[in-house]
């Protein structure tokens, strides 16, 4: 009997929901362990508090002596909450979060000790950078890296540790993390969008990018997960035949949440509340055992931190509930994968959502300005946007079941399409008073304030406008949102800078009125960016053909997609706006390629192991049972045995045929790996893994899955899809 599998099943079937107490209201729990403004007022001197606020609002540096005051206050607060340690909490390019805890405790001689946490320790730390991905930025003999406090994201206490959100840079000052370029990109969009927003309201002095992510994930019982080496090591199944019933009946989506899962969610949400992560929505997703969690949107940098923190908390809470969280974009073949929709908008310090239509023609012109500039930016940079969401795991999702294609396009709905069609007809040059009145009344004025309820939702678009925000749907569930957010804010920022220049030059050079100039520039943008707009079914074959005709990219795999990162145009884009210098971009490219290679290499090894050490021996065992049976029949029936053993012998032969294919497939796959491993250049190697190694996955899997259907269930060692997806 396949012991581990059946033990795991038994364990799973005996589980009860873990009790979760909810004594306090959510609103009372919210932000309890966060160094919020009101806490700061309580624990900081007036000067120190002002200085943090200023750093937040204007990016002004915090003075070292003030930092000493802040750290003292922070320490007092943390200790009062039971914290014993502090850490700079950062997001290296591994895709997870990193922390190295230090105790507040310090000896002062004479056998005495105190709690200490100075400004220096708050502001900067020096972790060894050599074990984090650096893409060649760091010399081997210069291992130093620095983490530095990011005062725009509040410190929080997790467990008994004070966590200080930080950036991570090399000795040379180059970014080694996700946060540094994001902060730079957010500065770009702030400046650019503020300048444009001033056309409409002089009082605007700051624009924030906002982000609301939706995190999809699978929950699998921990015992079942442990019974599958592929889930354990790769976070996804590399083989497994589809169950008779999957998601065909749509009976999981928005269904009642299973009790064990609900307990998990409740505890998770409690932890999120305490840490100030404003989670709001929870529900079953389309695939069995797939779920989603979404927060209320926040300022983009904070939202990114909160998503990273959430992913970490989820695993820990899941453990207490005997679950494993699968963030992988495609843990199971044949059913929906997981994404992380990035809902994005821009919001002014006067409280206006720049992508939300308004109540007056002027407000709507402002909306259209930001709306059309975003579309133009996406049009001009679609390939870069595609690159930013590329990963080995997201490759399985993009273009697959119920997932956006690898083609970037924007969906805006019929109402806004009509508006843009009208604006395209605006007169070249100065507008007549009649035309302006007409426009204001019948085009711009007709955009309803509440588009939200009127926008059609097109779930097949990779970058859809949804009433008062854009939703970047192609982002993968494992992604750090900082990547797409860095690129999106950079390209829209650049676009807005361009726009301002063009409008100003019409105002000054052609003596146009502001409105006329804006209409003129927008008209050209609408024409120029038409190709990126698509209202039809993004999952269809027709769209692939149409997109090709339009000259849109369709980079189906990561190595192909990543190339856009290092084109001359894109290196210049990042460098000109000081988001990333050439060294940083090239290092990231290298790191992404390496990660891709490693992921495919690891999966290839796992698949080889499972197929050779689990599937083939089990199949032979079953073959022997059949052969023994045939021998027995021969003993009893003599020459007549053929009549009774025909089927058995057919199965015996079928098994042999599959085994042969699996075995030769593995041998060839290993050869392909060896060849790839000899390659020096990461790019060439990544392509070799993609084109020469990965294709074996499918053939090997195919034959393993066929064997799963033939072999006696009692001895099949790998927990089946049916069991993974339907046991709770």
Q: Which residues bind Mg ion (CB under 5 A)?
A: 341
| Residue in 84, 353, 401, 531 binding ligand ADP, rule: CB under 6 A | 353
248 SS3 class: coil
H/E run at residue 294: strand 290-295
Tokens of 593: 């390629």
| Residue in 151, 295, 538, 717 binding ligand ADP, rule: CB under 6 A | 295
Q: How far is the CB of 51 from ligand ADP (least distance, A)?
A: 29
Q: Identify which of residues 241 and 469 has a Cβ nearer to ligand ADP in the complex.
A: 469
Asked if residue 602 binds ligand ADP (CB under 6 A), the reply is no
Query: Residue 343: how many CA atoms within 13 Å on its side-chain side?
Result: 16
Asked if residue 469 binds ligand ADP (CB under 6 A), the reply is yes
Terminal CA-to-CA distance of the chain, rounded, Å? 22
Nearest residue to ligand ADP, by Cβ distance, number only: 212
Contacts of 630 (CB under 8 A, 6+ apart): 641, 645, 648, 649, 652
* Among the residue ranges 256-264, 289-297, 558-566, 677-685, the one whose residues contact ligand ADP (CB under 6 A): 289-297
391, interface contact from Mg ion, ligand ADP, none, CB < 5-8 Å by kind: none
Q: How far is the CB of 355 from ligand ADP (least distance, A)?
A: 7
Q: Identify which of residues 222 and 466 has a Cβ nearer to ligand ADP in the complex.
A: 466
- Residue 464 near residue 458, CB atoms below 8 Å: yes
Q: Identify which of residues 321 and 469 has a Cβ nearer to ligand ADP in the complex.
A: 469
Residue 49: name the closest of 125, 154, 156 by CA. 154
Asked if residue 464 binds ligand ADP (CB under 6 A), the reply is no
217 SS3 class: strand
Tokens of 68: 């000493």
Three-state SS string across 470-482, please?
A: EEECCCECCCCCH
Q: Identify which of residues 388 and 466 has a Cβ nearer to ligand ADP in the complex.
A: 466
296, interface contact from Mg ion, ligand ADP, none, CB < 5-8 Å by kind: ligand ADP
Q: How far is the CB of 473 from ligand ADP (least distance, A)?
A: 9
Residue 211: name the closest of 189, 196, 192 by CA. 189
Residue 17: name the closest of 232, 226, 266, 236 by CA. 266
Q: Identify which of residues 343 and 555 has a Cβ nearer to ligand ADP in the complex.
A: 343
What's 476's DSSP letter? Answer: B
297, interface contact from Mg ion, ligand ADP, none, CB < 5-8 Å by kind: ligand ADP
Q: Identify which of residues 298 and 595 has a Cβ nearer to ligand ADP in the complex.
A: 298
Tokens of 76: 């007092």
Q: How far is the CB of 625 from Mg ion (least distance, A)?
A: 51
| Residue in 1, 57, 103, 296 binding ligand ADP, rule: CB under 6 A | 296
Asked if residue 345 binds ligand ADP (CB under 6 A), the reply is yes
CA–CA gap between residue 407 and residue 538 (Å, rounded)? 8
286 SS3 class: coil
Q: How far is the CB of 450 from ligand ADP (least distance, A)?
A: 13
* Among the residue ranges 81-89, 311-319, 466-474, 495-503, the one whose residues contact ligand ADP (CB under 6 A): 466-474
212, interface contact from Mg ion, ligand ADP, none, CB < 5-8 Å by kind: ligand ADP
469, interface contact from Mg ion, ligand ADP, none, CB < 5-8 Å by kind: ligand ADP
221, interface contact from Mg ion, ligand ADP, none, CB < 5-8 Å by kind: none
What's 276's DSSP letter? Answer: T
468, interface contact from Mg ion, ligand ADP, none, CB < 5-8 Å by kind: ligand ADP
Q: How far is the CB of 193 from ligand ADP (least distance, A)?
A: 13
Residue/partner pairs of 58-64 with CB below 8 Å, 24 or more apart: 59/187, 62/123, 62/151, 64/119, 64/120, 64/123
Residue 174: name the closest of 583, 642, 473, 620 by CA. 583
Q: How far is the CB of 338 from Mg ion (least distance, A)?
A: 13
> Are β-strands 105-109 and 85-89 bridged in parallel, bridged antiparallel, or unpaired?
unpaired
Q: Identify which of residues 404 and 665 has a Cβ nearer to ligand ADP in the complex.
A: 404
Q: Identify which of residues 208 and 343 has a Cβ nearer to Mg ion in the complex.
A: 343
Asked if residue 343 binds ligand ADP (CB under 6 A), the reply is yes
Nearest residue to Mg ion, by Cβ distance, number only: 341
Q: Identify which of residues 152 and 307 has a Cβ nearer to ligand ADP in the complex.
A: 307
Q: Identify which of residues 457 and 527 has a Cβ nearer to Mg ion in the complex.
A: 457
Phi, psi torsion values for 672, nearest 5 degrees: -60, -35
Three-state SS string across 42-103, please?
A: HHCCHHHHHHHHHHHHHCCCCCHHHHHHHHHHHHHHHHHCCCCEEEEEECECCCCCECCCEE
Place of tokens 């969690």: 293
* Among the residue ranges 107-115, 338-346, 424-432, 522-530, the one whose residues contact ligand ADP (CB under 6 A): 338-346
Contacts of 588 (CB under 8 A, 6+ apart): 93, 135, 565, 580
CA–CA gap between residue 57 and residue 31 (Å, rounded)? 21
**Residues 378-437 contacting ligand ADP, CB under 6 A:** none
What's 156's DSSP letter? Answer: E
H/E run at residue 108: strand 105-109
246, interface contact from Mg ion, ligand ADP, none, CB < 5-8 Å by kind: none
Q: Identify which of residues 285 and 708 has a Cβ nearer to Mg ion in the complex.
A: 285
Q: Identify which of residues 123 and 279 has a Cβ nearer to ligand ADP in the complex.
A: 279
* Among the residue ranges 84-92, 125-133, 337-345, 557-565, the one whose residues contact ligand ADP (CB under 6 A): 337-345
How many of the chain's residues bind ligand ADP (CB under 6 A)? Answer: 15
- Residue 84 near residue 77, CB atoms below 8 Å: no
Binding mask 131-160 for ligand ADP (x = CB under 6 A): ------------------------------
Q: How far is the CB of 30 from Mg ion (least distance, A)?
A: 23
CA–CA gap between residue 517 and residue 523 (Å, rounded)? 10
127 SS3 class: coil
- Residue 231 near residue 237, CB atoms below 8 Å: yes
Query: Residue 107: how many CA atoms within 13 Å on its side-chain side?
Result: 3
| Adjacent-strand bridge partners of 283 | 292
Asked if residue 468 binds ligand ADP (CB under 6 A), the reply is yes
* Among the residue ranges 239-247, 252-260, 288-296, 442-450, the one whose residues contact ligand ADP (CB under 6 A): 288-296
Q: Identify which of residues 297 and 411 has a Cβ nearer to ligand ADP in the complex.
A: 297
466, interface contact from ligand ADP, Mg ion, none, CB < 5-8 Å by kind: ligand ADP
Q: Identify which of residues 214 and 395 has a Cβ nearer to ligand ADP in the complex.
A: 214
78, interface contact from Mg ion, ligand ADP, none, CB < 5-8 Å by kind: none
SS3 content of the chain, % helix, strand, coil (to 5): 55, 15, 35
Q: How far is the CB of 303 from ligand ADP (least distance, A)?
A: 8
> Are β-strands 323-326 and 470-472 bridged in parallel, bridged antiparallel, or unpaired?
unpaired
What's 610's DSSP letter? Answer: I
344, interface contact from ligand ADP, Mg ion, none, CB < 5-8 Å by kind: ligand ADP
DSSP 19-43: P----S-HHHHTTTTB--HHHHHHH
**Residues 178-217 contacting ligand ADP, CB under 6 A:** 210-212, 214
* Among the residue ranges 53-61, 153-161, 324-332, 462-470, the one whose residues contact ligand ADP (CB under 6 A): 462-470
| Residue in 164, 169, 294, 571 binding ligand ADP, rule: CB under 6 A | 294
Helices 616-637/695-710 angle, 10° precision? 30
H/E run at residue 279: strand 279-284
Positions touching ligand ADP (CB under 6 A) are 210-212, 214, 294-297, 343-345, 353, 466, 468-469
């Amino acid at each position: 009997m396949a012991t581990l599998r059946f033990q795991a099943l038994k364990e799973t079937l005996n589980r009860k929901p873990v009790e979760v107490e909810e004594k306090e209201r959510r609103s009372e729990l919210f932000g309890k362990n966060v160094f919020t403004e009101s806490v700061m007022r309580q624990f900081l001197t007036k000067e120190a508090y002002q200085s943090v606020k200023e750093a937040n609002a204007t990016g002004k540096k915090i003075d070292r002596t003030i930092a000493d005051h802040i750290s003292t206050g922070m320490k007092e607060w943390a200790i009062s909450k039971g914290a014993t340690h502090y850490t700079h909490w950062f997001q290296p390019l591994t895709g997870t979060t990193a922390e190295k805890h230090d105790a507040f405790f310090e000896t002062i001689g004479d056998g005495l000790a105190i709690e200490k946490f100075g400004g220096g320790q708050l502001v900067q730390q020096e972790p060894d950078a050599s074990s984090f991905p650096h893409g060649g930025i760091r010399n081997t003999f210069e291992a130093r890296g620095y983490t530095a406090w990011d005062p725009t994201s509040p410190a929080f206490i997790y467990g008994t540790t004070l966590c200080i959100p930080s950036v991570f840079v090399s000795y040379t000052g180059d970014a080694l993390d996700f946060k540094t370029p994001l902060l730079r990109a957010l500065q770009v969009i702030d400046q650019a969008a503020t300048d444009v927003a001033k056309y409409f309201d002089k009082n605007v002095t700051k624009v924030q990018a906002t982000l609301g992510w939706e995190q999809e994930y699978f929950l699998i019982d921990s015992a079942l997960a442990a019974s599958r080496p592929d889930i354990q090591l790769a976070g996804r199944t590399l083989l497994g035949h589809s169950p008779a019933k999957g998601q065909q009946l749509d009976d999981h989506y928005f269904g009642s949440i299973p009790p064990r899962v609900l307990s998990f969610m409740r505890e998770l949400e409690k932890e999120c509340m305490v840490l100030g992560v404003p989670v709001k929505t929870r529900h079953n997703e389309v695939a069995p055992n797939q779920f989603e969690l979404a927060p209320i949107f926040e300022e983009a940098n904070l939202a990114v931190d909160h998503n990273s923190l959430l992913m970490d908390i989820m695993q820990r809470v899941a453990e207490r509930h005997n679950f494993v969280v699968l963030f992988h974009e495609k843990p199971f073949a044949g059913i929906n994968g997981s994404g992380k929709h990035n809902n994005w908008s821009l919001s002014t310090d006067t409280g206006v959502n720049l992508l939300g239509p308004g109540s007056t023609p002027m407000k709507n012109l402002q909306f259209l300005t930001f709306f059309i500039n975003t579309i133009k930016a996406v049009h001009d940079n679609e390939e870069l946007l595609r690159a930013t969401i590329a990963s080995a795991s997201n490759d399985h999702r993009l273009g697959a079941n119920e997932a956006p294609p690898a083609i970037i396009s924007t969906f805006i709905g019929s109402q806004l399409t009509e508006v843009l069609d009208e604006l395209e007809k605006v007169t070249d040059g100065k507008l007549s008073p009649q035309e302006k009145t007409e426009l204001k009344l019948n085009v711009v004025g007709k955009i309803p304030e509440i588009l939200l309820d009127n926008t059609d939702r097109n779930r097949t678009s990779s970058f859809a406008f949804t009433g008062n925000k854009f939703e970047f749907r192609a982002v993968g569930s494992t992604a750090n949102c900082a990547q797409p957010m860095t690129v999106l804010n950079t390209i829209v920022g650049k676009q807005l800078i361009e726009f301002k220049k063009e409008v100003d030059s019409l105002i000054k050079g052609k003596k146009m009125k502001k409105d006329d100039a804006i209409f003129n520039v927008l008209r050209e943008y609408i024409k120029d960016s038409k190709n990126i707009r698509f209202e039809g079914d993004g999952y269809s074959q027709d769209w692939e053909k149409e997109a090709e005709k339009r000259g849109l990219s369709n980079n189906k795999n990561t190595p192909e997609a990543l190339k856009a990162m290092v084109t001359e145009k894109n290196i210049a884009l990042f460098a000109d706006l000081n988001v990333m210098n050439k060294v940083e971009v090239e290092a990231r490219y290298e790191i992404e390629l390496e990660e891709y290679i490693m992921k495919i290499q690891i999966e290839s090894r796992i698949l080889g192991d499972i197929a050779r050490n689990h599937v083939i021996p089990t199949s032979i065992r079953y073959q022997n049972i059949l052969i023994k049976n045939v021998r027995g029949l021969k003993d009893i029936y003599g020459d007549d045995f053929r009549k009774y053993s025909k089927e058995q012998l057919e199965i015996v032969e079928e098994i042999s045929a599959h085994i042969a294919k699996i075995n030769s497939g593995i041998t060839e796959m290993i050869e392909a790996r060896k060849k790839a491993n000899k390659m020096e250049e990461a790019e060439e190697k990544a392509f070799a893994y993609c084109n020469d190694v990965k294709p074996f996955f499918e053939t090997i899997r195919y034959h393993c899955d066929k064997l799963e259907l033939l072999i006696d269930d009692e001895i099949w060692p790998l927990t089946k899809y049916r069991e993974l997806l339907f046991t709770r």
